[in-house]
Chains A and B, each alone.
Chain A
Amino acid sequence: MSPRPEAPRRPKLLIVDDGDRYVELAHALLRDYDYATRCSLPGPCWSCPARRGCTLTHAHDAREADAALAQHPDVDVVLLDVAFDVPEARLLPSTERDLARRQRLQGIAILAHLRRARGDLPVILMTSEAELAYEDAAEALAVDEFVTLAGEAAFDARALSLLIERVLARRRDAPASGGYAWGTTPAMARLRRDATTLARTSLPMLLVGETGTGKSALAERVIHPATQRRGPFVAVDLSALPESLVAAELFGTARGAFSGAVDRPGRFEQASGGTLLLDEIGNLSPELQRTLLLVLQDARVTRLGESSPRPVDVKLLAATNTDLDDAVRRGAFRADLLARLHPAARLRLPPLRERSADLPELARAFVQRAFAAGPDRALLARYLELARLAPPTHAPTEPPHADLALGRPPPGPVRGVLFVLATASLRALAAHPFSGNVRELELLLRTAAVSALSDALTALESRPPDTRATPPLPSARKPTPLDPARVIPLPARLIRELLAAAPPMPASPPHSLSAPAQNAILDTPRMPFSTPAHTFRIRPGDTAHAVAADLERQLYERLYTESNGDFTVMAKALLTGDATKNARRVRLRFNQLGLRVRKRG
């Protein structure tokens, strides 16, 4: 469905520089890129009437870089200056007393700061080894595989452009492109080839596979980038929407279409120019199947309450874990709609049991990803700092990094923290049915790694500060193979307990809330140590899943506080059955929600 030619998305650059030299150069000579500005006016800056004196063109310090990245999460490459001649108050906090040195190396500190949130964001440091006095930052830069020194290309527009293209190509061609763990089985190799080939066409694509096989991730991280379309990736989980709201959500509304309706574009319009994923398409009602068929035929949508259709240009992806052929035979799904979804070229994602050879690679990728961003990355950073495996936050700083070894740690230097999974545990994982497929495996490994790290951190925090470093600070700054603090085993007992306690992954949990609300009363009648009802705050989010996770996080926080951190008591409030096993399940979920165990008291 593509009435207009698809314009490839232009790479987006964020410039972080205390001055305006780089941005002036880029706007004058590098106009093939989009720029992450801090303003809301449409670009580009060089044709903006308000450009004179504008300071929103780029980020001038770490705080503004955070703001720009929050406004532009789709930044492809950061161009980062190293020296920042800014007042001390605008520098990142540091234990370094020499203000001039802090300013001279502030870019390295900003790099470490960015790494805490975005571990794999390509960064080009606008400097050379000689200019940087390389030894000052060599350690931090040597362990960062996503940083590149511009060298003499820093102010050479043509060379800089080539460097940016090389960085982009390297990321595009990386084996785990987009963070999708492919493995090596023939079925996955076929899937990868077909997905990237079909992505470049205008045809709709149908992704089929059991729950948890990675359909949404494939759509967002692989297919959408491979389309090279400039518009956004938009996903709708049709199983998570009340049936009465699906039409409004997909096609939009006009003011007055129904009581309370406002002018609002639907997901088709939001995704125009980009990619739209309709997840669990088997849940679509017969009436909406007919409407969707018309949209696919005409490449136009009509908002509820309007009569004039609007053109849309989306790459449509549909995903399902149900057998649509069978649904057609039963009369539950329209044959003509299935035909439109290009069933001959459907992409089948194999269940985990058909790709057990990929288990080691998947396990490693999932542990790396667990600490690549978010609260668990902060936890890892805290551990590295407390164990004095990384110096305090003044530059240079070792970026938090986690990896997984099977059996025993390999010889040679260890970067960051290395989790070790026993061979027996790998065998236990291979023998487990994993009805929730790779999603269940990822959650289990993330929980095991975060639990083990959390335990190691708790043990470290309970020791007097002067006994935490092993070995002491001066020799601990370089990665050493023998440093025991860098190696954290994933206990076999923990893996066994998680496998035994892991609940089957639900395909789609039932939903009962029918309308957004700012506050809701959720009844918690089996809580033995509290009043039976609590108020929870509902914060609207990007996805229904994010909103639900936020609510669940509030519940767990509340229970954790009221039970004084006793997971057995929490388990009794939440689950029926064996309290000991349930306590492990509750702790598993607690960790999955990004919550952290605190000392009791």
Chain B
Amino acid sequence: MIDERQLISVLQNGLPLISHPYAAIADEINSTEDEVINYIQLMQEKGDIKRFGLVVRHRKLGYKANAMVVWDIAEDNVDVLGQCFGQFDFVTLSYRRPRNLPDWPYNLFCMIHGQDKEDVKRNLNLMIKSCEVQGVKHELLFSTRCFKQRGAIYIHNETSDKVAV
């Protein structure tokens, strides 16, 4: 039997770049290569794994500008617009999140990318036009500095505990 928690804990660090990466993972969690392979396939079928493959850092690839665009959308329209915004290939995320009034009136969040700020603004205008949200309150938050970017660590072990500052 495979321990899902252990498997995720190892997988979240990425596969080793060696001939038999799944066998190496199996060794770490006292399992077998076939068990690991079957379990990953099962998680893919169940939809627990959304995609499996190379995770690249967009900033290093010429997508130098990225911004979060946040919208204040009437409840009835959130689903339709969330989907509409999500269909552009420069949009990597489209999520509904809670408002936090009075500081934060926005409930729909998209991450959009471009080669530079102008490109991002052009992309935003395309979204506004295509999804017909002229006049809807929104803000564009460009990211200026990236302090940290890596895969999510959901499960912590002794070695991943907080590092002293």
Judge: A and B partners, yes or no: no
- Which A residues contact B (CB, under 8 angstroms)? none
Binding site for A on B (CB under 8 A): none
